[in-house]
Structure 1
Amino acid sequence: MAPKYKLTYFEGRGLAEPIRYILCYGGVQFEDNRIQQADWPKIKPSTPFGKLPMLEEDGKVYDQSSAICRYLARTFNLVGSNEQEALRIDAVVDTITDLRLEMYKYAFEEAEAVKAKNKEDLEKEKLPFYLSKLDDMVKENGGYFVGGKLSWADLLFAGFHDFFSFMWDKKSLTENYPHLKALLQKVNNLPQISAWIKKRPVSEW
């Protein structure tokens, strides 16, 4: 019998969307449990460490978005053909995480002067640095991040794109990076992912 999955997150794409992408790619049904912020205080104590997303598989609870993605990626053969490819995929994922944390510094900063400085750092230094290297990586690996084939790093990048765009004043991060742009389109055009995008709830982020 196939496992029964329930994914709990807030009413947005955010950290949960790469998990949804991997589940959809794997062709499995899952309960997409989206909670309102007002309900979070009463749900929070039931989570392992007071954070979301949270995945339940046959009633067993797991947390940490990257760990959940990696677990599902192993289930659906998205971790590369050998340990070296798995290492490279993990390194790409960690690099995308580094970029996400840099974007947090701008998007969720409340002090105007600090926010302006963080925006300048992103625009002039951080985004060009990360995106140009990631773009070159896709160019050198046959249109994917690693090994010339789809991995969970590709699904994670595509799953995060809208959230990244939201944090960057609703601007696309791939516009000036043709290989990343092509990768994003390729992932989003996969039948399982395209079907998900068409039916998922509309949300700002």
Structure 2
Amino acid sequence: MAPTFKVTYFDIMALGEPIRILLSYGGFDWEDNRVTKENWPVLKPTVPMGQLPILEHNGKVAHQSIAICRYLGKLTKLVGKDDWEDLEIDAAADTVNDYRAKVGRYHYEADPVQKEKIGEQLFSEIVPFYSKKLDEQAKNNNGFLAVGRLTWADLLFVGLIDYMNFMAKKDLLAGVPNLQKVKENVLAVPNVKTYISNRSDNHIF
């Protein structure tokens, strides 16, 4: 019997890792389809918007990593008890993704002069700002990013943080104990712990 879900992404962590973690958390039967750089030019015209990751389920194909994570969050009951809680969770997830994008802007900048300028602002303003705000948020939510308990936003964060550290070339969790607690809480979940312990950390980028 074919797996219930199929996630297609490159052989790296990055945007695909939160999806893999959520699928693992849910104990779903899923296929981890990893695309090589050689195969990507052939595959690219066949996927929605010409981008990865994608998620396949029941003959349907979905794209956009945050939308996929939100969907899997619903399937795994890692959502709010009401619409307002869902709003809080969505806001937390979007904030994490904004942070990831700002770190990524620095990492992917090819011009060395421009990269230095971006880096100065990133490390003097942006990282301290997000570190403080998110750490306070985690403190106020008992070691989680929203609503005081585990949600899909926490799994998204943990799925992205190693990639963000790689792009920043530093530990973005240093000095932020409550954000560290978020990671610890997620990694304490048995299914997530098993997935993390079995994955290869050689494929961050």
Q: TM-score, normalised by structure 1?
A: 0.96
CA–CA distance in structure 1, aligned partners of residues 21 and 204 of structure 2: 18
SS in 2 for 1:38: coil
Q: Structure 2 vs 1, CA of residues 149 and 21 (structure 1 numbering), >3 Å: closer, same or farther? A: same
Q: Is the 8 A contact 1:138 1:146 kept in 2?
A: yes
Q: CA deviation at 1:78?
A: 0.9
Alignment of 1:72-111 (within 5 A): 72-111=72-111
Q: CA deviation at 1:3?
A: 7.2
Residue type of the alignment partner of 2:145: F
CA–CA distance in structure 1, aligned partners of residues 2 and 150 of structure 2: 24
SS in 1 for 2:55: strand
Structure 2 residue 29 is matched with structure 1 residue 29: yes
CA–CA distance in structure 2, aligned partners of residues 46 and 58 of structure 1: 18
SS in 1 for 2:8: strand
Structure 2 residue 181 is matched with structure 1 residue 182: yes
Q: Which residue of 1 aligns with 2:64?
A: 64
SS in 2 for 1:8: strand
CA–CA distance in structure 1, aligned partners of residues 198 and 85 of structure 2: 33
Q: CA deviation at 1:58?
A: 2.0
Q: Is the 8 A contact 2:3 2:30 kept in 1?
A: no
Q: Which residue of 2 aligns with 1:193?
A: 192
Structure 1 spans left out of the alignment, 5+ residues? none
Q: Which residue of 2 aligns with 1:53?
A: 53
Q: TM-score, normalised by structure 2?
A: 0.96
CA–CA distance in structure 1, aligned partners of residues 2 and 31 of structure 2: 14
Q: Is the 8 A contact 2:14 2:204 kept in 1?
A: no
Q: CA deviation at 1:176?
A: 1.0
Q: CA deviation at 1:182?
A: 1.3
Q: Is the 8 A contact 1:3 1:58 kept in 2?
A: no
Q: Is the 8 A contact 1:78 1:150 kept in 2?
A: yes
Q: Which residue of 2 aligns with 1:115?
A: 115
Q: Which residue of 1 aligns with 2:41?
A: 41
SS in 1 for 2:138: helix
CA–CA distance in structure 2, aligned partners of residues 36 and 52 of structure 1: 12
Q: CA deviation at 1:2?
A: 10
Q: CA deviation at 1:148?
A: 1.3
CA–CA distance in structure 2, aligned partners of residues 199 and 107 of structure 1: 27
CA–CA distance in structure 1, aligned partners of residues 17 and 204 of structure 2: 13
RMSD, matched Cα: 1.5
Deviation per residue, 1:49-92 (Å, 9 max, x gap): 10000100122111000000011111111111111110011111
- Name the % identity: 44
CA–CA distance in structure 1, aligned partners of residues 6 and 64 of structure 2: 15
List structure 1 runs of 4+ shifted beyond 2 angstroms.
Answer: none
Q: Which residue of 2 aligns with 1:145?
A: 145
Structure 2 spans left out of the alignment, 5+ residues? none
SS in 1 for 2:34: strand
